[in-house]
Amino acid sequence: MLHPDDFDVSEAWIDEGLPINAFGRALRRRFGGRIQRVSIDAGFTCPNVDGAVTRGGCNFCDNRSFSPSRRVRLKQVHDQLTSGIVTVRKRYDKVAGFIAYFQPATNTYAPVEQLREVYELAIGINQEPEFTDQVVGLAIGTRPDCVPESVLSLIQELADRTYVSLEYGMQTIHDEGLRWMNRAHTHADMVNAIDRSRGRGFEMCAHVILGIPGETHAMMMATAAEVGRLGFDAIKLHNLYAVRGTPLGEQVLAGEIEMMKRDDYVRTVVDFLELVPPRVVVERISGDAPPDFLIEPKWCLEKSALRLAVEAEFANRGTRQGSRYAPPKIDPANRPIPHDATPESIRSKIETRGRLPVLKMEDR
Ligand code: SF4
């Protein structure tokens, strides 16, 4: 019997002879042209930094700037987006539109009405004569423990009007790895969040890290299977990399931790994607940092060569994304919706009526 995935129009990439359901091509099909993301720092902090769940942040994250008391004005958010659009337009001739990408820190962690102001500001740029219909959607990076119902309802409402991708830092399904990273959430939190997010009209993207110390190949493949089991729409794969000014960076400099070797990473990415459903859009296959900040591994700076190596590995094997995908016993669409497990320490910050020091309207 054919699985519903077999009929998915998002499998056009197979007809195009591609080895993976690549993000750029998927956006072109959806929006009819090249789409670029513009990264926005809206001034948010993170419950892993301000003490709501813990302090210090993830061991790989340079979060020194995510001070709970920092202030980014709405006008600055506006200017980041418009100047980003102008810069990209100068660099590339044919860009059909832009996705406003709320990237640094935890972008659903603020009083919900402040979140609305920021997201609406990004969409509202389409009303300005110089930028008419330029912003085709939003991408919002967050943690699985920062999406109470109030946030999901807001994002659902926005998704009625524009494309929205909610990007969850899943990283791994193994709690040992999450503890090693100091994530301060469990995989059960991820399952709770995704089971409450599904079917609301926005895309759900999983951010996954490969090469976590102590994780075997089989453990990483179990994370791959979970992407299909939970019904994610998109995935971002990152190699673990160390940057200056982080606990991980210090450990790598001290020789205590080794990063994955390039060949091993290439094979692991291909093994991983063979298990991921064909309909899932692959937004990234590696991660990197500016050369001045990156400690290890240096090979991730050669992004094009890495992509070609992954494609060559697929070609050598005669496989593609989803070649070994086994549909889960329960269709993700039929998974029960659980109670909202957002920790009270986080919910109280999001559902407060006051304002955090960030994003004061009067600063516009
Ligand atoms: S949850 Fe995200 S923003 Fe917060 S410390 Fe970890 S990586 Fe950084």
CA of 106 relative to ligand 1 center, distance in Å: 7
Beta bridge partners of 204: 166
Domain holding 235, by residue range, is 4-332
3-state helix, strand and coil shares in percent for the chain, rounded to the nearest 5:
40, 15, 45
Residue among 41, 54, 58 whose CB has most ligand 1 atoms within 8 A, to mutate: 58
Q: How far apart are CA 299 and CA 289, in angstroms?
A: 11
CA of 57 relative to ligand 1 center, distance in Å: 6
Q: Structure tokens of 342?
A: 């957002």
Residue among 59, 66, 102, 106 whose CB has most ligand 1 atoms within 8 A, to mutate: 106
What does each C-alpha distance from 136 to 124, 175, 220, 254, 301 come to in angstroms? 11, 36, 34, 45, 29
Residue 358 lies in a domain: no
Ligand 1 pocket, residue 111 CB under 6 Å: no
pLDDT computed for residue 1 by the predictor = 31
Residue 95 lies in a domain: yes
For atom 5 of ligand 1, the residue with the nearest CA is: 57
CA of 12 relative to ligand 1 center, distance in Å: 35
pLDDT computed for residue 354 by the predictor = 64
The CATH number of the domain holding residue 76 is 3.20.20.70
Q: Spell out the per-residue pLDDT of the chain, length 364, in tens.
A: 333 344 454 689 999 999 999 999 999 999 999 999 999 999 999 999 999 999 999 999 998 777 776 778 888 899 999 999 999 999 988 899 999 999 999 999 999 999 999 999 999 999 999 999 999 999 999 999 999 999 999 999 999 999 999 999 999 999 999 999 999 999 999 999 999 999 999 999 999 999 999 999 999 999 999 999 999 999 999 999 999 999 999 999 999 999 999 999 999 999 999 999 999 999 999 999 999 999 999 999 999 999 999 999 999 999 999 999 999 999 999 999 999 999 999 999 999 876 654 444 333 3
Say whether the peptide bond before residue 297 is cis (omega within 30 degrees of 0): yes
Q: How far apart are CA 299 and CA 293, in angstroms?
A: 14
Task: Using CB atoms within 10 Å of the CB of residue 129, give its burial: 0 to 12 exposed, 13 to 18 middle, 19+ buried.
Answer: exposed
Ligand 1 pocket, residue 321 CB under 6 Å: no
Beta bridge partners of 110: none
Q: Around Cβ 65, how many Cβ atoms within 10 Å? A: 12
Residue among 44, 45, 48 whose CB has most ligand 1 atoms within 8 A, to mutate: 48
Ligand 1 pocket, residue 61 CB under 6 Å: yes
Ligand 1 pocket, residue 170 CB under 6 Å: no
Ligand 1 pocket, residue 59 CB under 6 Å: no
pLDDT computed for residue 92 by the predictor = 87
> What is the position in ligand 1's atom list of the atom closest to the CA of 181?
6
Q: Around Cβ 218, how many Cβ atoms within 10 Å? A: 7
> What is the position in ligand 1's atom list of the atom closest to the CA of 46?
4
Q: How far apart are CA 207 and CA 236, in angstroms?
A: 5
> What is the position in ligand 1's atom list of the atom closest to the CA of 66?
3
Rounded to a whole number of angstroms, the distance between the first and last alpha carbons of the chain is: 57
pLDDT computed for residue 254 by the predictor = 97
Residue 27 lies in a domain: yes
CA of 319 relative to ligand 1 center, distance in Å: 35
Residue 346 lies in a domain: no
Residue 344 lies in a domain: no
With beta carbons less than 8 A apart as the criterion, state whether 344 and 204 touch: no
Residue 349 lies in a domain: no
CA of 240 relative to ligand 1 center, distance in Å: 14
Helix (H) or strand (E) holding 88: helix 74-91
Residue 38, helix vs strand vs coil: strand
> What is the position in ligand 1's atom list of the atom closest to the CA of 104?
3
- The candidate with the shortest Cα–Cα distance to 65, out of 340, 282, 293, 296, is 293
pTM for the structure as a whole: 0.94
- The candidate with the shortest Cα–Cα distance to 235, out of 325, 300, 156, is 325
Ligand 1 pocket, residue 268 CB under 6 Å: no
Residue 363 lies in a domain: no
pLDDT computed for residue 75 by the predictor = 87
Residue 65 lies in a domain: yes
What does each C-alpha distance from 27 to 23, 98, 127, 155 come to in angstroms? 6, 10, 22, 20
Ligand 1 pocket, residue 48 CB under 6 Å: yes
pLDDT computed for residue 165 by the predictor = 98
Question: What is residue 208's DSSP assignment?
Answer: E
Note the Cα 315 to chain centre separation in Å.
27
Domain count, the chain: 1
Ligand 1 pocket, residue 297 CB under 6 Å: no
CA of 232 relative to ligand 1 center, distance in Å: 20
Strand 203-210 and strand 234-239: the pairing is parallel
